[in-house]
Amino acid sequence: MLYRRLRYIGFAFLAIALVAMTRPAQAADTANSTEMLKFYVGELKKYPEDKDLRESVIKMAQSLKPRPRIPEEAERAVARGNVYLKRAVDVAGYKEAITEFQTAIMLAPWLSDGYLGLSEAQEKAGLYADAIQNLKFHIMADPQAKGSREIKKKIYELEVYAEEAKKAQKLAKTQPAPSSATPASATPTPAPGAPQAPSVPQVAQVAVKATVPAPKGKLGFAGSWFFKDTGPRGGDISVHAFTLSYAAKDELTVVPPKRSAESIGTVSSLEVSGNKIKIAIIWELTNTPGYWKTENYELVLSDDEKTLSGTYHQKDSRLREFSEDRVYVRQ
């Protein structure tokens, strides 16, 4: 690994020096340097986490006259990433944006806008160290960009969050596992002057059932309930919200959906009154210490028992809130 790094770093700086010394022979130099740039871009695709190689490719691209063009697919990926970033309401949404921005900087490692968008998505996903690194690549890719001073200030702010997140991870490893009554969570302390994120809500272990007579000859609330949403590639998709079922002694129980390997959903409350139902679920991510999200449903069962309709409210540890009216159908 060390030999490979020294080899391509040496070649990269040699290429930059050759371009600088022999600039009068524009056509030949440009062709040779362009081919060398293509070679190192190919190497970067094999080792995308190699910071030294990425830095060398950015510097090599800056040495070319004219600058290398931005592939249309890279511009498309940035545009798509911006859409996902704007629409994201949770970590899963920000990861959609991260994927697009990573595609952009893979195709054009000198694309400063790709690093800027990637950094913002990573910050909102709680990946502070990665966000800092990509802000640095953004400045490197476009040293004359407007707002460089503000971006440097942003880096300093993110360093606080990164340090706190690292401390929280170390603390979580040294503490015994919490009881099942309380979700495991270590929330980093925000930077001075930043909004204080609320602590993770407590979960009542017994509040996952409601005693309600099971309907005779009807389904009542029982079933897996879904709502329509817009998919990541456009078009409607059915999203599982929760499953309700009647257990022994006419107890109604609720089970959260399975969304990803990292997501842990815990029911914190379930209330039923006639044809009205209230459900609260708390979500945590095993790969993002300190992150949590609450989902609250206040719904009414239709007379024909085909739909649940009402208000959905979401809030997370970063003080973002979202509410809308939804209609759920049984599947």
Among the three residues 45, 63, 81, which one is the final residue of a domain in this structure?
Answer: 63
Are 163 and 99 members of one domain?
Answer: yes
Q: What is the pLDDT of residue 10?
A: 55
Q: What is the pLDDT of residue 172?
A: 56
Are 54 and 85 members of one domain?
Answer: no
Rounded average pLDDT over 154-183: 68
10, part of any domain: yes
122, part of any domain: yes
Q: Is the peptide bond before 215 cis (omega within 30 degrees of 0)?
A: no
Q: What is the pLDDT of residue 247?
A: 74
182, part of any domain: no
Domain that holds residue 9: 2-63
179, part of any domain: no
Rounded average pLDDT over 233-253: 79
Are 44 and 120 members of one domain?
Answer: no
Are 324 and 250 members of one domain?
Answer: yes
Q: What is the mean pLDDT of the chain?
A: 78
Are 215 and 304 members of one domain?
Answer: yes
Are 39 and 118 members of one domain?
Answer: no
180, part of any domain: no
165, part of any domain: yes
Instruction: For residue 87, give the CATH number of its domain.
Output: 1.25.40.10
Tens digit of pLDDT for each residue in 40-57?
888 888 888 899 999 999
Among the three residues 170, 196, 219, which one is the final residue of a domain in this structure?
Answer: 170
Are 38 and 85 members of one domain?
Answer: no
Q: Which residues contact 93 (CB under 8 A, 6 or more apart)?
A: 84, 87
221, part of any domain: yes
Cα–Cα distance for residue pair 293/200, rounded to 1 Å: 8
Lowest-confidence pick of 85-89, 158-162, 203-207: 203-207
Who has greater pLDDT, 125 or 236? 125
Among the three residues 63, 81, 101, which one is the final residue of a domain in this structure?
Answer: 63
Tens digit of pLDDT for each residue in 169-225?
676 555 554 443 344 444 444 444 444 445 555 444 333 566 777 776 678 898 899
Lowest-confidence pick of 67-71, 95-99, 131-135, 144-148: 144-148
Are 21 and 82 members of one domain?
Answer: no
**What's the number of domains the chain is made of?**
3
Are 215 and 290 members of one domain?
Answer: yes
Are 221 and 325 members of one domain?
Answer: yes
Are 106 and 166 members of one domain?
Answer: yes
Are 315 and 220 members of one domain?
Answer: yes
Q: What is the pLDDT of residue 232?
A: 53
184, part of any domain: no
